[in-house]
Every structure is written in C-alpha cells, then in structure tokens.
Amino acid sequence: DVQLVESGGGAVQTGGSLKLSCAVSGYLYAQYCMGWSRQAPGGEREGIATITSDGTTRYRDSVKGRFTISRDNDKNILYLQMNNLTPEDTGVYYCAADPKKWLCSWFRTDFASWGQGTQVTVS
C-alpha cells in the first residue's frame, strides 16, 4: 500500500512563497501519476497540478506560471513550489498518487491514495 504525508504548509503574506513536500512510502510503479489538490474554506477539493513518472507536468490555469510540481523518485518525495501567493490560494493542500497514467491528463480528485493535507494561509 502507498502512504503519503504532506508538510511545509504555513501562513504567508500576499506575494510570498512556500514549498510543500509529500513524503511517500510503500511501492510505486514507474507509471504512477502524482498530483496536488487543494480545498478552500467552505469549498470543494480541486486538482491543481499533476506530474507523470517521466516528468511531464500539467497545471490548472489559476496556478500556471506561479506553481511548480516536481518529484524526486530516488528520495520518494513529491514537491509543490508556490510563488506569488494570493489569498485565493488559501486552503488545505493534499498530495495524491494513482497507477492509472491517464489521470495525469485531468484534474480529478479520485486518486487511489491521498495524504492527510497541510494548511496554507495567505493574507
């Protein structure tokens, strides 16, 4: 089974930056799609970025140009670098994994494995 634990969240001012990490344990196939989703206060969880095993990335328009998703397969860590943050970025951020490669082409929330989330607050 795959387990994921997010870290790196916190409170920042508008225009600031944060880097989230997702530590992964268990076995992952090379074909696994990895992604980040977020849930704003009172809102629904939405996918914001995905990355394939070979490094192909995809971003929701609202974060494109500001966020960067990356992975270190040797260290089993998924990252999300967030720059030029705004209050609209506030929410709980979750990392996710799924063996179905096609999930990396969509911003879905039905991944097979999820972390518990880390809070990001921008004011």
Residue positions counted in the chain? 123
- pLDDT tens for the 123 residues of the chain, in order: 789 999 999 999 999 999 999 998 886 666 789 999 999 999 999 999 999 988 999 999 999 999 999 998 888 899 999 999 999 999 999 999 998 888 899 888 899 999 999 999 999
The phi and psi torsions of 104 (rounded to 5 degrees) equal -70, -10
In three-state secondary structure terms, 26 is: coil
Distances (CA, A) of 89 to 14, 71, 95, 112, 120: 10, 21, 16, 25, 8
